[in-house]
Each structure stands twice: as structure tokens, then as C-alpha cells.
Structure 1
């Protein structure tokens, strides 16, 4: 049987250079979105330190930490991860086969951080 897979990744750019902080391939859109939300909260709540009270363990690695120089980027990540309307929109987009992307900026140093999730090629299972 062939199943649909989903991929998610967190990237960072300074306008000239681009790097992946980590990514994952999972079996369904809910796991992809859950991973993205976890990374957004980890990065927002302490610049990459573990989120207190996190009992759910995913079989994937967390992204590398980022040090933000202002509060706008962490607050934007936290808002995206905890706003029910944005999460509903994201899961519907993934369900319809569209990619999900959310970018925050740290204007103090010209850094942009992007969370992205998309439908990947079918995986054989």
C-alpha cells in the first residue's frame, strides 16, 4: 500500500546565505504540523531550550537553536503556534495539497526564519 507523506523544515537566512536548521518526513499532515508547532514554541520560548511541560515525544530531532536579538520574531512564532485559526488554516492547506509557510523576521540582524510544511512524494509502506 502506498501512503502519502509530509515533510517539514525550519530554515534561516540572512538575505545572502541560507541554512536548514532541521527537518522531518512524517506519515501524515497532523504530525508535520505538530512538529512545526513544537519547533516554533521551542525557538520562541528560550531560543532553542526545551519547552517546559512537553510530554509528547516525537520520533524526530528538534532543530538547532537560534538566538534572536529582538522580541518580534519569538512573539511571531509563539502567536503562529498557539493561534487556533492559523493552525486550522495550516491543516486545511496541507489537506488540500498546498504547502504551508510562515516566516518571522529579526530586523536587528536581518535574519529571517521560515517554518514550512508540504505534501511529499508518496512513500511505500
Structure 2
């Protein structure tokens, strides 16, 4: 795997003052980054006990820790991002152009923001 072919992704949570990583991945290309981010978005959106269908592609790392949302807006926004072709086209376009793919949802009831991020390079390169 050449350095230029490596891509990374991470899911983070913030309350405006503190920041926590829920998990991340390093993979060989941007399509796998996007696949992992979509999976995490759906897992987080469905995190209240709904089972997910098995994935057709095995990735070299596990899933992020679950988050409990206090309103329905954040899970619905995550689902919309993960399943909307325009959102996915925008994300892969950003990665192809060398920019990070970022998507943030807010849970205003408790003041948290959750960010899905993917970029070229390793985690230290973000």
C-alpha cells in the first residue's frame, strides 16, 4: 500500500469544549472510507436496538461505539446522508479532489455534535 493510496476515516463527538473519538479506520482507498462512514452513520442512526443487515465487504476494523441521541433529528440526518446519492456523490468528489469529506449532525437537546470525516492519508495527516 503506497502512502498516497492510504485513506483514513474517523467518527468524533464534541460538546463544544471536549472532543472524543468514537473510532476510526485506515484503508487502501477512498471508496472503502466512504463505505465505512456510511456503515457507521446507519449504525449510529439505528443504534436503538435495530439489527443491521450483514455487510458484503469485510473491513479491517470494527465499528464505532454507539451514541444515544436525545432527539430524532440527528438519526434522521445520518440516515439521509448515508442513503442519499447526492450526499455520497459530494463526499466521494471531495475525496477524489484531495479534500476531506465531512458531515456533522447536531443533537441540540444535549449540545453534542457528531462528525463523520474521511481524508487521504493517515490519521496524523488530518
TM over 0.5: yes
Q: Residues 24-63 of structure 1, C-alpha deviation per residue, up to 9 Å, x if partnerless?
A: 000000000000000000000124x574222333221100
Secondary structure of 2:54 counterpart: coil
Change (3 A) 1:51 1:60: farther
Change (3 A) 1:51 1:97: farther
Q: Residues 89-113 of structure 1, C-alpha deviation per residue, up to 9 Å, x if partnerless?
A: 1111101111010000000000000
Q: Is the 8 A contact 2:9 2:26 kept in 1?
A: yes
Secondary structure of 1:16 counterpart: coil
Aligned equivalent of 2:52:
52
TM-score (norm 1): 0.89
Could you tell me which runs of 5 or more consecutive residues in structure 1 were left unpaired when the two chains were aligned. Answer: none
Secondary structure of 2:53 counterpart: coil
Could you tell me which runs of 5 or more consecutive residues in structure 2 were left unpaired when the two chains were aligned. Answer: none
Between the two proteins, the alignment pairs up a number of residues equal to 120
CA distance in 1, matches of 2:90, 2:35: 14
Displaced runs of 4 or more, over 4 A:
none
Which structure shows the bigger proportion of residues in strand conformation?
1
